Structure 1
Amino acid sequence: MTIESESVWSYVESPSVDGFIEAASYFLIYMIGMFLLSRFLPSIEAKSPKKTYQLTGLYVFILLTILIPIGYYTGNISFLFIIKKFISFFIVINIFAILFSLYLFLRPEAVRSALNAKFPIDYWHGREKDPMLFGVDLKVFFYQPSLIGLALANLSLAEAQISLHGALTVEMILYQSFWYLYLFTHYIREDFMLWTFDIIEDHFGFMLVWGDLIYVPFLYSIAGWYVADNVHSPMSMTRVIITLLLHFIGHYVFRESNWQKFDVRKYGSQVKIWGKKVELLEGRLLLSGFWGIGRHVNYTGEILVYLSIALCSGTVSYVPYILPFSLVILLSQRASRDDQRCRKKYGDKIWNQYCQAAKFRMIPFIY
């Protein structure tokens, strides 16, 4: 990519020994700080199908929501160093992911739990499902530096736009608001993640470590770079309204559909969905709410969320659209695999009955 004189990319410093040391120092302080907050902040007790967890993510999120604006207002906080050391951070965090995954593979508890572990397969997937360190579940903990890291990367891009162009654009305000809402709705129902496949079944190894520390904060914030520089092609009011509607509709479908199934799994059929008693097919398949409309509309909502975020960048590049369009392919294939798995699990008769009620996989009348 060509770096122009008036581009946020002009802030990015070339890698150097001093840059690596500085980036490593910042990152270690950040990880230790996140760990201490997870260990010592008040927690919310939450149960999964396999054990009870102590969750601190909501309190971490609230604390930072209060402290960061105060820090900006008083001039005591700046996150421009994230942009300046972007390449150094990327390299340092990759090295950390490799080394920390090696620690997970070699630590005594892992060796005892998997005596016949095979490298690199078990290095990639992990030996332990729920590794603990000083009373903190590491797999759950790594969500915090991942999602908060994404938030800090986004803030650094907003700060860079102000520093370089003098003000925040409407597109940047939308971009920041969308991501803040995404994190807010995650943390107010943080116990939802305890019932996901990652937490229940996956082991904790390089795949999840790298996904938490690199894939989420670096890839998910990539649209922000283009939003920060797109100051000469402002969105029309019509586009702003369409983008807002797309986001809020997608966000509602994404979260509400997941929460509907989660509430039924957690609390049983006594819960109500949209004010009505829950309807179950053969006592097993949810026919209420979004799950009576489509079999995977949660995927549709998720795609719309990321598409609306990409739309904040306009048409300056195709890069911000890689994430939503890759999800179209991946989640469409997953929806098809899910249907096959459910047909095998529930049997042809029950699954055909369910498909007659929830006729669509992801998009009503289309797919």
Structure 2
Amino acid sequence: MTESDFPLAAAWSGLSGGAVLEAAGMLSLFVGLLFLGSMYLPGPRASGPGLEGESRSYKLNGLASFLIAMTAAGLAQVFGWFSLSVLHTHFVALFLMANGFAFAMSGWLYARRARTPDAPEGFWRQFFFGAELDPALLGVDLKFFSYRPSLIGLALFNASFAVVQYETYGRLSLAMVLYQIFTFVYVLNYFQFEYGMTHTWDLVSERFGWMLIWGDYVLVPFFYCLPGWWLVHASEPLHPTWAAAIVLLFGFGFWLFRGANEQKHRFKRNPEAPIWGKPARSLDGRLLISGFWGIGRHLNYTGEICIYLAFTLTTGFTSWVPYLLPAWLAGLLGHRSRRDERRCRAKYGELWGRYTRRVRFAMLPFIY
């Protein structure tokens, strides 16, 4: 595989001791400022399901953190105080430092395991899966907080690709413009819907160990931006007809992903809330069978895969490498849907059997 086939390989050539030190400072400043923002920026509070017998309350100021970070980066770029292209040139160094941070944080949480008498047995399970369900530092829930550097970091990396393309060629391609719009809307909407995260499986039931930490600080920001690398120097223009088709795919996926999640959250808050203009229907008041949830059991996952496929289709078909992202996500969410099925069957028993007979398909109506 040549460098042109895999543009990330070029980033390794710029790796040096100085770049690693600079990356360490950048990462520390970035995470530190977001942590302070989580502590002090205003925002409403939302209650989540009880964890380990205790009610949890979360401050929803992630949207403010995201908008401040992106505005500050944009102003710094416009006025020449700082160029986001440094994220592109320091990508590998930042990747190495993020890995170090993830292992250090996991080790620190493992060292706190003595405070958690019901932690799973064994070093591997405690380090990898986590000893604590809901660790906090200075009043900040670390699991809830870690979505912020994860997704804001992803948004900044994506923006850096546009900056590099413009600084190199003096323009932005249609594919890059669409990619920037799609990814910005996706991250912005996450923080608009931050209240919905208080009921997710990861937040409610997963312990916070290396698996989630590495996913937040390394996998999402450094792997989920993969299509952006190909767009920086992409030479083939995106045909307007193909661009329109990609926009439709993104719109459909976004409607499916966000619509399904919003319906579920609305039902949990009010079982009689209207869905698609009619009162919600359910089985025994527990399992929603209206809207998207009367068509498929995990259509929110299907919508998210469509969103990431739209991201990737902006790169065209000159390389298979960007398609690792939607392929990975399809495997991840397909596995998660099966894990959800097992958990729901254990939780609801016979009621879940009635639900699966009523809603026959999981992620693809009439297929799967």
Q: Given the two structures, how large is their TM-score scaled by the length of structure 1?
A: 0.92
CA contact (8 A) 1:222 1:320 kept: yes
Distance 1:30 1:275 in 2: 43
Amino acid paired to 2:147: Y
Aligned partner of residue 153 in structure 1, secondary structure: helix
Distance 1:356 1:106 in 2: 46
Match 1:264 to one of 267, 275, 281: 267
- Which residue of 1 is the match for residue 193 of structure 2? 189
CA contact (8 A) 2:282 2:289 kept: yes
Q: Describe the superposition over 1:86-113 as per-residue Cα deviations: whole angstroms up to 9, x where unpaired.
A: 1111111111211121111113xx3222
- Does the C-alpha gap of structure 1 residues 162 and 11 become closer, same or farther in structure 2, counting only changes over 3 Å? farther
Aligned partner of residue 130 in structure 1, secondary structure: coil
Distance 1:360 1:270 in 2: 24
Deviation at 1:318, TM superposition (A): 0.9
Correspondences of 1:36-75 after superposition (within 5 Å): 36-50=36-50, 51-75=56-80
- Which residue of 2 is the match for residue 331 of structure 1? 333
Deviation at 1:18, TM superposition (A): 1.3
- Which residue of 2 is the match for residue 2 of structure 1? 2
- Does the C-alpha gap of structure 1 residues 262 and 239 become closer, same or farther in structure 2, counting only changes over 3 Å? same
Distance 2:75 2:261 in 1: 34
Correspondences of 1:234-313 after superposition (within 5 Å): 234-265=237-268, 267-313=269-315
Displacement over 6 Å in runs of 4+: none
- Which residue of 2 is the match for residue 146 of structure 1? 150
- Does the C-alpha gap of structure 1 residues 314 and 127 become closer, same or farther in structure 2, counting only changes over 3 Å? same
Distance 1:115 1:290 in 2: 38
Distance 1:330 1:129 in 2: 22
Distance 1:344 1:201 in 2: 14
CA contact (8 A) 2:70 2:156 kept: no
Q: Describe the superposition over 1:195-231 as per-residue Cα deviations: whole angstroms up to 9, x where unpaired.
A: 111111111111111111100001100110011121x
Correspondences of 1:148-227 after superposition (within 5 Å): 148-227=152-231
Amino acid paired to 1:15: L
Correspondences of 1:6-17 after superposition (within 5 Å): 10=10, 13-17=13-17
CA contact (8 A) 1:193 1:199 kept: yes
- Does the C-alpha gap of structure 1 residues 159 and 118 become closer, same or farther in structure 2, counting only changes over 3 Å? same
- Does the C-alpha gap of structure 1 residues 198 and 347 become closer, same or farther in structure 2, counting only changes over 3 Å? closer
Amino acid paired to 1:43: G
Distance 1:118 1:342 in 2: 27
Amino acid paired to 2:57: T
2:362 is aligned with 1:361: yes
Q: Count residues with an aligned counterpart.
A: 361
CA contact (8 A) 2:130 2:210 kept: yes
Distance 1:121 1:283 in 2: 36
CA-atom RMSD in angstroms: 2.1
Question: Quick check: 51-60 or 335-344, which moved more?
Answer: 335-344
Deviation at 1:31, TM superposition (A): 1.3
Deviation at 1:342, TM superposition (A): 3.6
CA contact (8 A) 1:42 1:56 kept: yes
Please list every run of 5 or more consecutive structure 1 residues that lacks an aligned counterpart in the other structure.
none
- Which residue of 1 is the match for residue 32 of structure 2? 32
Distance 1:337 1:112 in 2: 29
Deviation at 1:257, TM superposition (A): 0.3
Amino acid paired to 2:366: F
- Does the C-alpha gap of structure 1 residues 83 and 9 become closer, same or farther in structure 2, counting only changes over 3 Å? farther
Amino acid paired to 1:87: V
Identity %: 40
Deviation at 1:42, TM superposition (A): 0.8
Q: Given the two structures, how large is their TM-score scaled by the length of structure 2?
A: 0.92
